[in-house]
C-alpha cells in the first residue's frame, strides 16, 4: 500500500522528497546514495541507494562509473548451504515504471572493486550512473558507518 501511495504521489507530482542528498535525470530520481565506510586497506566497498522512476516506462541501471575504483560490479548476496555468496548481476537492475528499485534490498548492492583510496566518513565519491533510457547521471555517494543498511537511512528521507 505504501508503494502504491508513493507511486500515485510521484505520478501526481505531490511528493517532494525532503532529502537534501538526491539527484534527478528525466523521470529518474536517486535518493541518498551511500557507501559503507571501509577499514584501512580494504580493497572493496559496497554502495546502496533508492532509485525512483516517475515515468510511464521502465528503465534500467546499466552500470556505475567512478575513478575511485578499478570497476563497479552489481551483486546479490545469496545464502547457499549456510554460506553467504555474492552473485554477479550482469544485466543491471530494472527500475519499474511509476515505482522504485531499492539497491540494498534482497541482498543487492553495488560493489566497488579495487579501491584507489580509503572510503572514510566524510568522503564524497563522485560517480556516474548510466541508465538505459535516461542516460548518464553524474552524482555523489556519501559515506555512512560500516554496517549501515538501506532501511537505516530511509527513515530520515520519508
Q: Which of residues 58-77 bind Cu ion (CB under 5 A)?
A: 75
- Smallest distance from the beta carbon of 147 to Cu ion, in angstroms? 15
Binding mask of the shown chain, residues 96 to 135, with x at each position contacting Cu ion by CB under 5 A: ---------------x------------------------
State the nearest-atom distance from the C-beta of 82 to Cu ion, in Å: 18
Q: CA-to-CA distance for 142 and 148, rounded, in angstroms?
A: 12
Q: Are 22 and 30 in contact (CB under 8 A)?
A: yes
Q: How far is the CB of 73 from Cu ion (least distance, A)?
A: 7
Give the residue, chosen from 11, 25, 42, 86, that forms a contact with Cu ion under the rule CB under 5 A. 86
CB 133, CB 110: distance < 8 Å? no
Q: Are 58 and 130 in contact (CB under 8 A)?
A: no
Binding residues for Cu ion, rule: CB under 5 A, are 75, 86, 111
Amino acid at each position: 500500500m505504501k508503494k502504491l501511495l508513493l507511486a500515485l504521489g510521484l505520478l501526481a507530482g505531490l511528493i517532494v522528497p525532503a532529502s537534501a542528498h538526491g539527484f534527478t535525470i528525466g523521470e529518474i530520481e536517486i535518493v541518498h546514495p551511500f557507501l559503507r565506510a571501509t577499514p584501512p586497506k580494504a580493497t572493496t566497498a559496497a554502495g546502496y541507494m533508492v532509485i525512483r522512476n516517475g515515468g510511464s516506462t521502465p528503465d534500467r541501471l546499466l552500470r556505475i562509473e567512478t575513478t575511485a575504483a578499478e570497476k563497479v560490479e552489481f551483486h546479490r548476496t545469496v545464502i547457499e548451504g549456510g554460506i553467504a555468496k555474492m552473485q554477479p548481476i550482469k544485466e543491471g537492475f530494472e527500475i519499474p515504471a511509476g515505482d522504485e528499485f531499492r539497491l540494498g534490498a534482497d541482498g543487492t548492492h553495488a560493489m566497488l572493486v579495487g579501491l584507489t583510496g580509503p572510503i572514510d566518513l566524510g568522503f564524497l565519491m563522485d560517480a556516474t550512473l548510466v541508465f538505459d533510457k535516461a542516460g548518464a547521471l553524474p552524482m555523489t555517494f556519501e559515506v555512512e558507518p560500516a554496517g549501515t543498511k538501506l532501511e537505516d537511512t530511509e527513515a530520515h528521507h520519508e
